[in-house]
Amino acid sequence: MSIGQIAIGRNRGYRKRLSKLGLLGWLAVFVLFIFGVIAIFGSALAPHDPNKIDLAYSYVGPIPGHPLGFDELGRDLFSRLLVGARTSLIGPIVLVISTTLIGTSIAILAAWRRGWTDAGLSAGVDIAVAFPGLLLAILLSTVFGASLWVAIAALTLAYTPSLARLLRSSALRETGMDYVKALKVLGFSDSQIIFKHLLPNLAPFIIAQAIIMFGYATLDLGGLSFLGIGVQPPTADWGTMVAAGASGLLQGYPTQTLAAGSCLVLTALSFAVIGDRLARIWGVE
């Protein structure tokens, strides 16, 4: 069978299995799609300037043209929500992707090479796990200045070791399977076995970990923004909006926290549902 035909066979199989995503799964895809569109076109869609301060409108409720009302500084909440989607989604997504890529690479390298490579990487991971992520973030932001990217880099460094350690043990179990040895003896190259067999078999586990991480990533990045290390004001961001709305919450104006919080929860939930469905499609039933 030529490579092309193998690929076609694959696609057909995937399409058939993707229909197993179910109503909830497709709903989650839809939600993320909408958020994705908002994240890309948010600034164009926003009806008002998200950073225009007008203290006369502080905590004013919904009025025509302003469906969600205003925040504590009299900025249009709806516009801030739309514009905030980009930072709010990009932060955790970049964090989760970079952590997953680096963590998986370390885990597979250690499990595949074993011996000294494994011993060296595992020792490095053990040392890194012991280092607190928050401290690292504060340290990095002192050195490089506070920004979302520094926060992401710090949390990537903080998340990667524990993910690598988790994945390493499943990768070790998988590489110890006889089918991996049989494929080597059949003449397949390391990369063919890793990409066509090892990774797909580890995928459900990796995705499950990534989803759990997404929740933490949203919270931790929000927390860092709250501390002034992550997203810098006046940039709109759901995490910072939740934090900023906290004082309003006590005074009886919960709209900001609720609106931004629901967006965060909906995003995390959608990822969770899709991840769960994908895990089932990939055969962890």
Partner 1 sequence: MSTPLIKVSNLSKQYGDLLAVADVSFELPPSGSIGIVGESGSGKTTVAKILVGLERATSGKIEVEGQDWSLPAKNSKERRERAKYLQIVFQDPYSSLDPRQSIGTALREALSISMKDSDEVIVRASELADLVGLPQRILELRPAKLSGGQRQRVAIARALASNPKALILDESVAALDVSIQAQILNLLVDIREQTGIAYILVSHDLAVVRHFADSLIVMKNGNVVERGQTEAVMDQPNHEYTKLLLASVPGPGWVPGKRSI
Binding site for partner 1 (CB under 8 A): 1-2, 5-6, 9, 177-179, 181-182, 184-190, 192, 197, 200-201, 282-283
Angle, helix 148-175 to helix 115-129, in steps of 10 degrees: 140
C-beta of 48 vs 197, nearer to partner 1: 197
In the complex, what is the shortest distance from the CB of residue 19 to partner 1, in angstroms, rounded to a whole number? 18
Minimum distance of partner 1 from residue 171's CB (angstroms): 15
Min CB(20)–partner 1 separation in Å:
15
CA 241 to centroid of chain Cα atoms? 19
Q: Return the HEC string of the chain.
A: CCHHHHHHHHHHHHHHHHHHHHHHHHHHHHHHHHHHHHHHHHHHHCCCCCCCCCHHHCCCCCECCECCCECCCCCEHHHHHHHHHHHHHHHHHHHHHHHHHHHHHHHHHHHHHCHHHHHHHHHHHHHHHCCCHHHHHHHHHHHHCCCHHHHHHHHHHHHHHHHHHHHHHHHHHHHCCHHHHHHHHHCCCHHHHHHHHHHHHHHHHHHHHHHHHHHHHHHHHHHHHHCCCCCCCCCCCHHHHHHHHHHHHHCCCCHHHHHHHHHHHHHHHHHHHHHHHHHHHCCCC
Kindly state the smallest distance separating residue 285's Cβ from partner 1, in Å.
Answer: 9
The least distance separating partner 1 from the CB of residue 7, rounded to whole angstroms, comes to 12
Taking the complex as a whole, how short is the minimal distance between the CB of residue 178 and partner 1, in angstroms?
A: 4
Least CB distance to partner 1 at residue 212 (A): 23
Report yes or no: 102 and 156 within 8 Å, Cβ to Cβ.
Answer: yes
Task: Return the number of the residue (138 or 284) whose C-beta is nearest partner 1.
Answer: 284
